[in-house]
Amino acid sequence: MNAVAEDTRKVVPFPSAAWFAELGDLMKANRARQEHLGYIDCSVAFTVTDGSADGLARHFRVVFEEFEAVDVAEVDAAAAAAADFGLAASGATWRAMIDSIAAGDGRPALTQTLNYLSHMGTPLTLVAADPLKSDLYYRYNQSLQEFVNASCAFHTVYSSAR
């Protein structure tokens, strides 16, 4: 018998709509947990500021409704700006967070939570048109944290450009 168990988890590339869609599927699969956390009603634009092969931004919009991510899509900058709020960071910042979540088996290091990264405005930037919209980020913060924490259930691979 092998001393190290083989990693049979699904492999999902980041950044990609598939990566966020996978998190959406996990939300659905863990419905009871979502019901315990409560409604989440907002649209979020996750931006990787240097996510494309030529170093340009890529935006992924996730629409949350009730207990599910009802829509996940890669969108252009205008559609991203129309989301309730955005969370923008470099690929390296996202990668460090995702790797930390994986290393902690679903719990990031103290310095890798969404709020830790966004609180000072950098390296993760909260973008919102007005304070009522940015308050949505705070109102659903635990749900959003658990949304990204679920990425430990699969294996993230990063595009070679990043």
Partner 1 sequence: MSVRVQDLSPLPVAANLDDEGLAQYEATYTSRFQVWAEVLQRNVENIHRGSYSLHWLNTDQANWGKRAKPSSRGMTYTDINRIRGYGDAPDKAEWFNFAPRGAVREPYRHEMPVIEEYTVVDKGELWADNVITLYEEAKARQWNATRDIPWEELEALPEDLEKATCQLCTFLTEIEFAAGDFPAKWMYRIPQDFLEVKSFLATQIMDEARHQEVFRKRAIAGGGLLHAAPGFEWALTAILNAPTHTMGTFLLNLLGEGLVLSIFRSGEMIAKTHVDKEIFRRCLQDEARHVSYGVLEFKNYLDTHPNRAAAEEQMHRFCDIGEQVVLSAFVEPALIEPIAVLLGGGLKHIDQGMEGVAHMWRMFIAEYQQRCKAAGFDRSTRCTIPAEFPWGKAA
Residues engaged in binding partner 1 (CB under 8 A) = 37-39, 41, 66, 107, 110, 113, 115-116, 119-121, 130-132, 135-136, 138-142, 145
Judge contact between 67 and 40, C-beta under 8 A. yes
Least distance to partner 1 from the beta carbon of 39, Å? 5
41 versus 76: smaller Cβ distance to partner 1: 41
Judge contact between 38 and 52, C-beta under 8 A. no
6 versus 130: smaller Cβ distance to partner 1: 130
Reading the block at residue 42, the tokens are 């907002």
Least distance to partner 1 from the beta carbon of 24, Å? 17
138 versus 161: smaller Cβ distance to partner 1: 138
Of 116, 123, 63, residue with least CA distance to 93: 123
Cis peptide before 15 (omega within 30 of 0): yes
16 versus 43: smaller Cβ distance to partner 1: 43
What is the phi/psi pair of residue 138, to 5°? Answer: -75, -40
Least distance to partner 1 from the beta carbon of 113, Å? 6
Least distance to partner 1 from the beta carbon of 131, Å? 5
Judge contact between 61 and 72, C-beta under 8 A. yes
